[in-house]
């Protein structure tokens, strides 16, 4: 809209008020007995001139403000007021700059999420080529190696699960459901679901979780992150006959669940960075199959659930990943008040 039209439209009510006010003053003098019309006309003209003078001065001070709305913006910065001259304009300019910073921050977050998703999908597609190629070769043989076939299928399933988990992480709050669960039940279920992984790699699980430990959490997401811990523990334990310990202890802060392996361990320089997206580190380069998203997703989920995540490791001795449930407690469990996790009623 033209700045002149916009200014007149904004002050039309003010002009009308000034006109009514002048007529009221003239009427007041007329009722008081004054009949000198030349004085009345002079007063009206002076009032009109002063009003237009005031409006002209106001228009000059507000011109830069109207010019913002007059030009067609090509980018977000064009909507900012460059030279505010009145208190109202300065407040408006400050407010617009705050909105711009919020907008810029949201855009950066969306761009980072999009780039992260694109990078993850590219890596995932590249890694899924290997099991698909192996399955194709196995099918060409006269006698199919069922063990190898199942291993490749498991790799495909794990890859699909990782994609779905990463996608659902964007709408985490809509998918979250906090429940009081018996920790031992959930741990045993996750270990059972990964029994083929243990058998294939010659690693043995050992569970030391009190049956009375009850925690408030989202069981589905906890199964995902616990499964990630177990997968990493087995994957980076190269020697046969080693163990993965899943333990729970009561501390002063709550119940702490720990997954400890006897694997190769994480270099000290990598421990603080393993929860970053796409960080594979020295160990990831050894296997060539790491996406660098497992511990990142686990860290994100623990943060949103309010569970503290800690990682301790020593090269050659193994790694311990712990999740602290500050709301955890030990209670007599008869299976009636607290949910016993005996099966998954939801798909990823």
* Spatial distance between the Cα atoms of 231 and 222, rounded to a whole number of angstroms: 14
What was the pLDDT predicted at 94?
77
For residue 262, is pLDDT > 50? yes
Confidence of residue 344 (pLDDT cuts 50, 70, 90): very low
Q: What tens digit of pLDDT does each residue of 169-180 get?
A: 777 777 788 899
What was the pLDDT predicted at 79?
60
What was the pLDDT predicted at 321?
94
* Spatial distance between the Cα atoms of 113 and 116, rounded to a whole number of angstroms: 5
For residue 252, is pLDDT > 70? yes
User: Which position has the higher pLDDT, 128 or 88?
Assistant: 128
* Spatial distance between the Cα atoms of 158 and 32, rounded to a whole number of angstroms: 95
Other beta carbons less than 10 A from residue 188's beta carbon? 17
Minimum mean pLDDT among 129-138, 158-167, 299-308: which range?
158-167
What was the pLDDT predicted at 343?
43
With a pLDDT cut of 90, the percent of the chain lying above it is 23
Secondary structure letter of residue 203 according to DSSP:
-
CB half-sphere exposure, 236, CA atoms < 13 A: 30
User: Which position has the higher pLDDT, 10 or 17?
Assistant: 17
* Spatial distance between the Cα atoms of 166 and 297, rounded to a whole number of angstroms: 7
- What are the residues whose beta carbons fall under 8 Å from the beta carbon of 163, sequence distance 6 or more? 120, 121, 124
Q: In the numeric block, which tokens belong to residue 296?
A: 């990142």
Strands 318-325 and 204-208: unpaired
CA angle 46, 50, 56 (to 5 degrees): 145
Ordered by where they begin, the domains of the chain are: 3-99 (no CATH), 178-348 (3.30.565.10)
Confidence of residue 338 (pLDDT cuts 50, 70, 90): low
Q: Can you spell out the DSSP letters for 202-257?
A: T-EEEEE--TTEEEEE-HHHHHHHHHHHHHHHHHT--STT-EEEEEEEE-SSSEEE
What was the pLDDT predicted at 342?
41
* Spatial distance between the Cα atoms of 59 and 43, rounded to a whole number of angstroms: 24
- Cβ(278)–Cβ(120) under 8 Å? yes
The residues pairing with 181 across neighbouring beta strands, listed in sequence order, are: 215, 339
Output phi, psi for 217, to 5 deg.
Answer: -165, 180
- Cβ(214)–Cβ(182) under 8 Å? yes
Per-residue pLDDT, averaged over 86-97, amounts to 73
- Cβ(123)–Cβ(277) under 8 Å? no
Confidence of residue 325 (pLDDT cuts 50, 70, 90): very high
Report CA torsion sign: 229, 234, 235, 236: positive
- Cβ(270)–Cβ(283) under 8 Å? yes
* Spatial distance between the Cα atoms of 166 and 295, rounded to a whole number of angstroms: 12
User: Which position has the higher pLDDT, 123 or 192?
Assistant: 192
Per-residue pLDDT, averaged over 255-277, amounts to 89
What was the pLDDT predicted at 348?
37
Q: What tens digit of pLDDT does each residue of 127-146 get?
A: 777 778 888 888 888 787 77
User: Which position has the higher pLDDT, 220 or 123?
Assistant: 220
DSSP three-state, residue 232: helix
Minimum mean pLDDT among 13-22, 24-33, 254-263: which range?
24-33
For residue 334, is pLDDT > 60? no
Report CA torsion sign: 119, 167, 278, 153: negative
Average pLDDT, the chain: 80
Q: What tens digit of pLDDT does each residue of 30-78 get?
A: 787 777 777 777 878 888 888 889 888 888 877 777 776 666 666 666 6
- What are the residues whose beta carbons fall under 8 Å from the beta carbon of 281, sequence distance 6 or more? 266, 267, 270, 273, 274, 292
What was the pLDDT predicted at 73?
65
């Amino acid at each position: 809209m033209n700045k002149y039209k916009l200014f007149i439209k904004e002050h039309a009510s003010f002009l009308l008020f000034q006109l009514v006010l002048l007529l009221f003053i003239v009427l007041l003098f007329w009722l008081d007995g004054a009949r000198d019309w030349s004085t009345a006309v002079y007063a009206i003209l002076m009032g009109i001139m002063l009003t237009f003078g005031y409006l002209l001065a106001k228009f000059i001070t507000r011109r830069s403000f109207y010019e913002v709305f007059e030009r067609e913006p090509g980018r977000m910065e064009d909507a900012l007021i460059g030279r505010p001259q009145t208190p109202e304009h300065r407040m408006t300019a400050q407010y617009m700059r705050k909105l711009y910073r919020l907008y810029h921050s949201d855009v950066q977050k969306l761009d980072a999420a999009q780039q992260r998703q694109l990078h993850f999908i590219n890596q995932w597609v590249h890694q899924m080529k290997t099991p698909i190629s192996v399955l194709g070769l196995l099918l060409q043989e006269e006698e199919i190696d069922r063990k190898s076939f199942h291993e490749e299928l498991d790799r495909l399933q794990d890859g699909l699960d990782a994609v779905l988990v990463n996608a659902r992480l964007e709408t985490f709050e809509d998918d979250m459901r906090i429940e009081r669960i018996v920790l031992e039940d959930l741990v045993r279920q996750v270990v059972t679901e990964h029994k083929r992984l243990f058998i294939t790699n010659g690693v043995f699980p050992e569970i030391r979780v009190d049956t009375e430990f009850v925690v408030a959490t989202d069981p589905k997401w906890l199964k995902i992150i616990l499964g990630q811990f177990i997968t990493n523990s087995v994957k980076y334990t190269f020697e046969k006959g080693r163990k993965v310990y899943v333990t729970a202890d009561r501390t002063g802060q709550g119940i702490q669940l720990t997954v400890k392996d006897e694997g190769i361990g994480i270099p000290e320089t990598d421990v603080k960075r393993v929860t970053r997206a796409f960080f594979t580190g020295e160990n990831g380069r050894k296997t060539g199959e790491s996406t660098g998203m497992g511990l990142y997703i686990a860290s994100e989920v623990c943060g949103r659930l309010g569970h503290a995540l800690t990682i301790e490791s020593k090269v050659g001795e193994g790694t311990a990943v712990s999740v602290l449930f500050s709301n955890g407690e030990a209670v007599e469990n008869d299976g009636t008040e607290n949910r016993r996790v005996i099966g998954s009623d939801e798909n990823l």
